[in-house]
Amino acid sequence: MNDWFHKQGGRDRFIDWLALDSKLNSTLGDAWSRIKDYWNAGSSYFARFQLVGWRRLLNEFASESLTMLFGGFVVLYGLALPAFQEFDESKFLTGRYAVKFLDVNGNEIGKRGILHNDSVPLDEIPDVLIKATLATEDRRFFEHYGVDVLGTLRALVTNVQANEVVQGGSTLTQQLAKNLFLSSERSLQRKVKELFLSFLLESRYSKREILKLYFDRAYMGGGTFGAEAASQYYFGKSVRDISMAEAAVLAGLFKAPTKYSPLVDLAASRARTNQVLDNLVEAGYYTAGQVHAARINPAKIVEARATTSPDWFLDWAYEEVQRIADGKNQYVLTARTTVDLTLQRQAEEALAASLRKEGRSNNFHSGAIVVMETDGKVRAIVGGPDYGESQFNRATHAKRQPGSSFKVYVYATAMENGFTPETMVRDASRSCGNWSPSNYGGGGGSGARIPLWNALARSLNTVATELSFVVGREKVIEMTKRLGIEGVKKTCSMALGDGGITVLEHTGGFATFANGGKLAKPYGILDITTSKGDLLYSRERDEPPAPQVLSRHVAEEMNVMLNRVVTEGTGGMANLDFTNVAGKTGTSTGPKDAWFMGFTGKYVAGVWVGNDDNRPMRMGVTGGHQAAPIWHDLMTVAHADMNIPTIPGLAPHPKQVEEQQRLAEIRAQQVAAGLAPIQTDASKPQSIMPPKTREALKMLVSALRKANGEPAAPPEAPHVPQHEDPKQAPQPVNRPDRRATLFDTSHDDLSIPASAPPPPGQQASPTALP
């Protein structure tokens, strides 16, 4: 053949495809033959194991059972894992510390730890109290393994017959699991966790240990935990000495300590006590005749006292004490706190009033409030609607989505990177993967150009999202860490507050803006002393000064924009007519969370409302309409006077200026009328001593001088030079102490001569003026 391919020797230089194809076919054919041989051999071998008839049915049943058992095990593991993650053995160690808490002025406000938990062994708790508790809460306690199916069915039938909840379906172990590890939310997820935690407790502790923990850890109302503290609180005696009637009162408190407290509702408490006595008879522990005396002679409650224990605050403060005292080998402590009892009560009332007024109609039943000063000094904490129903502190432990209130950290990051309140931005944003932001009410933005402050005031999601992309989401996360907020994750919708944050953390973050850019880490402990009176901790001594984590210029510009949120934007319902307010609203998707975070020149406060089980609220609920009014009402009563500092970056409020001018005019009129002295040195406080008191003191001093053998009017004291070295300063002259025998009213000197200290073993003279 005369072609180019043969001329170039192409067939000799390329692969012999025919040989390759032949070898490949041969190899595959041999392999397939071997596979069939192996298959036939295996089938012949396993044929001898083939089952027929009833044996095959039994084998199929066993195989299916094992498969379902394995699948069930996987499902149970998946359900149990969240419960086991809630298990924290440190919850059992709350008796390690015994802490007495004081307010700023040194008055006792409450206790936590072993002082009210573990003082009475189980063997010394009266048998009647144990039986009353078991008869009412868990009659088969010693027979079940954490969950009582029969008891639950019996309680269900009893409650249906009574048309009300007379008996509970949860066992003591389940109740203990809820009290130690879980909140009181009514959800299937919580019940599943409670179930597995009960099994875990039963496997690790004996019945007696579980019963002791139950008596020690249960909240009993009035800020008391445990049967011993409740007995002291309600009856003024140890639980060792209570009668049957008193035991019935205590046993009735486990279900709802606030509702059935004899100091809150005596009639409800008496009715609950009779139910407990009925249960004692029905359970066979006592006869009707034996409980008759307790019915006709009800327990006598000690004189009612005002319950002012700030329990939400104390729970958090107790955690702070344990953190501070860890490793110092001191366990009996006294801690002076920052709480303001009046402000605490006002905050609790503000939340309770809102839940009563709007909670049912708007489908929210929980909330939390934190109030602090601008340096982070926590003054009040409300961790939920009812401390007696649930001691889970939503203000310090519940991580909720902050919604648009998170945008302040995005805007602050933008301000650090060249933006200003007047920077023009577009009401639009790019997409992130398959997600695109939309503003409240729908729509991806109008595309209009608006100033930055206006975008924040209107809470536009598009602008906040685009800002996070422009400046970098990593920088936003770094900003939150600087301000003391941990756990923020990088996501597409991060700028819209899609992560979890506590009310306490969020309030501390806003406090940084309120004080001009310094870190405002929340604190509630001023000092801690040991049982011997030694100072273990002092905030003033042991804590470093707050660092400047945000430039003052940025903080001031942020405050200007946050003020316009209240005056011209979504936070209008939080505006106060007597001082400036800066803040931000927040609403999460659902809506499931509604926030208002705001501050004046004196206080920073965060308000959250929602539901414990994360159910959505009524459509239309927003932070501006539900949380902001709570904030407004609380701040209105919290500011008792007009002595309110000015927010950095803002001018004084006109009402505050008017008030200062009014006080200045009144002062000038008093000076003109001779009713007030002219104050020449503003640094020296004016005397508040009445003239008659001053004259009486002059007479007393004159009499003392005359009795001491001194001239009634002492000569003018010579000038004493100031010495840098205290050792060079002249020492006072010691004079013997003498008693006054008469009064001389002719002199006006108020100075009192110093007397020598008494010799050892002698008492000081009682004539010293107070």
Of the candidate ranges 160-164, 407-411, 758-762, the one whose mean pLDDT is the lowest: 758-762
Compute the average pLDDT of residues 225-241: 88
With helix as H, strand as E and coil as C, how does 190-245 read?
HHHHHHHHHHHHHHHCCHHHHHHHHHHHCEEECCEECHHHHHHHHHCCCHHHCCHH
How many CB atoms are closer than 10 A to CB 441?
5
Of residues 186 and 609, more confidently modeled? 609
Confidence band (pLDDT; 50, 70, 90) for 720? very low
Name, of 211-220, 327-336, 706-715, the range with top average pLDDT: 327-336
Confidence band (pLDDT; 50, 70, 90) for 561? very high
Confidence band (pLDDT; 50, 70, 90) for 727? very low
Contact 425, 468 (CB under 8 A): no
How close are the terminal C-alpha atoms of the chain, in Å? 135
Q: Helix (H, G, I), strand (E, B), or coil: what is residue 548? A: strand
Could you read off the pLDDT of 585-613 as tens digits, one per residue? Answer: 999 999 999 999 999 999 999 999 999 98
pLDDT at 722: 41
pLDDT at 653: 92
Could you read off the pLDDT of 652-711 as tens digits, one per residue? Answer: 999 988 888 888 888 888 877 777 666 554 444 444 455 656 676 677 777 766 666 665
DSSP code per residue over 58-90: HHHHHHHHHHHHHHHHHHHHHHHHHHHHH--GG
Confidence band (pLDDT; 50, 70, 90) for 566? very high
pLDDT at 305: 53
Task: Give the chain's length.
Answer: 770
Compute the average pLDDT of residues 325-335: 89
Give the global pTM.
0.68
- Residue 627 in this model has a pLDDT that exceeds 90: yes
Q: What are phi and psi of 673, to 5 degrees?
A: -85, 0
- Residue 751 in this model has a pLDDT that exceeds 50: no
pLDDT at 769: 25
**In this prediction, what percent of the chain has a pLDDT beyond 70?**
79
Q: Helix (H, G, I), strand (E, B), or coil: what is residue 459? A: coil
pLDDT at 360: 93
pLDDT at 184: 60
**For residues 234 and 128, what is the distance between their CA atoms, to the nearest angstrom?**
17
pLDDT at 764: 38
Confidence band (pLDDT; 50, 70, 90) for 114? low
Average pLDDT over all residues of the chain: 82
Amino acid letter, 523: Y
How many CB atoms are closer than 10 A to CB 626?
28
- Residue 13 in this model has a pLDDT that exceeds 70: no
- Residue 414 in this model has a pLDDT that exceeds 50: yes
- Residue 82 in this model has a pLDDT that exceeds 70: no
Nearest to 513 by CA among 407, 417, 594, 424: 407
Name, of 40-44, 60-64, 160-164, 321-325, the range with top average pLDDT: 321-325
**In this prediction, what percent of the chain has a pLDDT beyond 90?**
46
- Residue 721 in this model has a pLDDT that exceeds 50: no
Of residues 223 and 379, more confidently modeled? 379
**For residues 479 and 564, what is the distance between their CA atoms, to the nearest angstrom?**
22
Compute the average pLDDT of residues 408-415: 97
Contact 512, 550 (CB under 8 A): yes
- Residue 324 in this model has a pLDDT that exceeds 60: yes
Could you read off the pLDDT of 258-295 as tens digits, one per residue? Answer: 888 888 888 999 999 999 999 999 999 999 989 998 89
Half-sphere exposure of 86 (CA within 13 A, CB side): 25
Confidence band (pLDDT; 50, 70, 90) for 735? very low
Amino acid letter, 438: S
Compute the average pLDDT of residues 163-190: 69
